[in-house]
Amino acid sequence: MRQGILRVGLLGGVLCVWLCAEARAADATEPGFYANFDVGVNFLSEVEGREFDPGLRFGVAGGYRFTPMISAEIETGYLYNEVKDAEDNTLSHVPLLANVMFRFENKSPFVPFVGVGVGGVVSFLTIDDVISEDDDSAVVFAWQVQAGVHYRINANMSAGITYKYLGVDSPEFDVGGGTIELDVLHNHAILASFNWAF
């Protein structure tokens, strides 16, 4: 899994470099479409008395900037965490969210932003231990808040750091001959992010 995380991070870095090389001039403060990419570490809070190792989150979003301050986007991605001291037991999510973003454009090259979103998540639970080997999925409601700051590279590209909180509403899984209903899941991610306006 750790090698997989490194590969995803390397792929994200290569993608960012490629986008920088291919991007065409456009003013990110004017109305228009944009894409956002992020990758980093995901921390899942304790669930039903079980702790989780730090995991992976990466995402991609596409949106439209209506004004220099307000934009709307659709986001998806992948979150992955392993149960502490039980690496074969994992909990992962694929979100599909509608976000509203607020950018605080100013004369400096640093652009703070915040965002809120709602949507759904497909959650996956995998159990592989001496007692049972099973997996199941569930589709549940989810919500997100985020904040960060980007450094303006040029008129149409920026990069920086983003914090995202993703709440997942009590998924229920049928595994090991029984039903496991989890409490609300609290995901906290620290991400390197890249935005490209075109």
Q: What is the pTM of this model?
A: 0.83
For 156: left if phi > 0, alpha if psi spans -120 to 50, otherwise beta; the answer is alpha
pLDDT confidence of residue 1: 54
pLDDT confidence of residue 60: 98
Q: If you write DSSP's letter for every residue of 67-130 in order, what string do you get?
A: SSSEEEEEEEEEEEEEETTEEEEEEEEEEEEEEEEEE---SSSEEEEEEEEEEEEEEEEEEESS
Tokens 């890249």 sit on residue: 194
Q: Which residues span the domain enclosing 65?
A: 2-197
pLDDT confidence of residue 178: 82
Taking residue 40's Cβ as centre, other Cβ atoms within 10 Å add up to 19
pLDDT confidence of residue 25: 42
Q: How many domains does the chain have?
A: 1
Tens of pLDDT, residue by residue, the chain (198 residues): 555 554 555 555 555 545 544 444 445 668 899 999 999 999 999 988 889 999 999 999 999 999 999 999 999 999 999 999 877 889 999 999 999 999 999 999 999 999 999 999 999 999 887 566 788 999 999 999 999 999 999 989 999 999 999 999 999 998 877 888 999 999 999 999 999 998
Q: What is the dihedral of CA 179, 168, 63, 23, to 10 degrees?
A: -90
**Residue 55 in tokens:** 């995991």
Tell me the C-alpha distance between 109 and 152, whole Å: 5
pLDDT confidence of residue 145: 98
**CATH number, domain with residue 22:** 2.40.160.20
pLDDT confidence of residue 111: 96
